[in-house]
């Protein structure tokens, strides 16, 4: 018998928000059994915690009812809250995607580092072919939108400076108050400050594994922009 918790994310009220199931002890469970459990619970995501391989506090394997995910926003936030409460820590690092990396022949080529992302980007200086910036919800309300967009543009600038010319940057947002057009402008502003040309290759929203009611427009809150970088 394995105990699990239901964590309601993006709310301060019980039985609201976006729920995720978290198994605190996933040790010894096969991937097949984890998938069956996720299918049985039938939440958008279910998380199983394991011992970390690197510097992180724990390794998290994330499953939808249909498949395993290398990463997903609200399950990571809910799991970090639960792990942080258990460890008495304000800052938590989770390994995600470790099993997916192994299955794709990338084991040993991925490092999990617990660090301030802004400092790491500042130190990178045209080091990476691909930088994915996926911050927490920076604009929890429309009143915080303008300040959030300034921060998004600063993150985009840091990501562009950390990416080689010819590389790609992915800027993500989980804030309903920030629409896709505003997120794209923030990327353009950051790229201009980094003195590079950002060409948008693709833009999009959350996938089919994260459905939302047509009557709840704010539910389409996950969005991303992929851009190719060249010299100006």
174-197 pLDDT tens trace: 898 999 999 999 999 999 999 999
> Closest by alpha carbon to 136, among 73, 183, 218?
73
130 lies in the same domain as 97: no
pLDDT score recorded for residue 154: 96
150 or 208, which is more confident: 150
Query: What's the structural domain count of the chain?
Result: 2
192 and 216 share one domain: yes
- 46-50 and 18-23 strand pairing: parallel
Greatest Cα pair distance, the chain, in angstroms, is: 59
Nearest residue to 72 via CA among 178, 177, 169, 207? 207
Q: What is the CATH number of the domain that holds 79?
A: 3.10.310.10
Are 121 and 99 within one domain? Answer: no
**142 and 195 part of one domain:** yes
Work out the average pLDDT over 90-119. 81
Residue with token string 């600038």: 157
| Boundaries of domain holding 146 | 117-231
Q: Rounded mean pLDDT of the chain?
A: 90
Name beta bridge partners: 87: none
Residue 209 predicted with pLDDT over 70: no
In terms of pTM, does the model score above 0.75?
Answer: no
In a domain? residue 57: yes
Final residue belonging to a domain, choices 73, 103, 133: 103
Check if the beta carbon of residue 34 is closer than 8 Å to that of residue 8: no
Q: Are 193 and 227 within one domain? A: yes
pLDDT of residue 218: 72
**DSSP bridge partners of 153:** none
Q: Is the pLDDT of residue 59 over 90?
A: yes
Sheet holding 223-231, edge to edge: 128-133, 163-173, 223-231, 196-205
CA distance 210 to 14: 21
Residues 145 and 99 in one domain: no
As a whole number of angstroms, the distance between CA 75 and CA 69 comes to 10
Q: Do 81 and 136 fall into the same domain?
A: no
Query: What percentage of the chain carries pLDDT values higher than 70?
Result: 100
Q: Give the rounded distance of the alpha carbon of 203 from its chain centre.
A: 16
Q: What CATH number does residue 179 fall under?
A: 3.40.50.150
Do 12 and 34 fall into the same domain?
A: yes
Same domain, residue pair 175 and 79: no
- Which residues have CB under 8 Å from 117's CB, separation 6+? 133, 135
pLDDT over threshold 80, residue 30: yes
């Amino acid at each position: 018998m394995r105990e699990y918790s239901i964590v309601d994310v993006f709310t301060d009220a019980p039985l609201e928000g976006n729920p995720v199931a978290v198994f605190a002890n996933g040790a010894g469970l096969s991937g097949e059994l984890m998938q069956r459990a996720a299918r049985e619970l039938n939440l958008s995501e279910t998380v199983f915690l394991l011992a970390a391989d690197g510097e992180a506090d724990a390794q998290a394997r994330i499953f939808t009812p249909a498949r395993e995910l290398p990463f997903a926003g609200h399950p990571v936030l809910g799991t970090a809250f639960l792990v942080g409460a258990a460890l008495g820590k304000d800052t938590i690092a989770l390994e995600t995607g470790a099993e997916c990396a192994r299955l794709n022949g990338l084991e040993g080529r991925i490092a999990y580092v617990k660090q301030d992302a802004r400092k790491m980007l500042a130190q990178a200086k045209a080091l990476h072919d691909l930088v994915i910036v996926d911050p927490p919800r920076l604009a929890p309300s429309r009143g915080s939108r303008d300040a959030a967009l300034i921060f998004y543009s600063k993150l985009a600038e840091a990501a562009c400076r950390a990416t080689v010319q010819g590389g790609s940057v992915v800027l993500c947002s989980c804030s309903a108050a920030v629409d896709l057009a505003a997120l794209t402008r923030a990327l353009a502003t950051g790229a201009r400050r980094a003195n590079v040309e950002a060409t948008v290759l693709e833009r999009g929203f959350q996938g089919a594994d994260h459905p939302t009611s047509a009557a709840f427009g704010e539910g389409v809150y996950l969005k991303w922009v992929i851009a190719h970088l060249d010299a100006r």
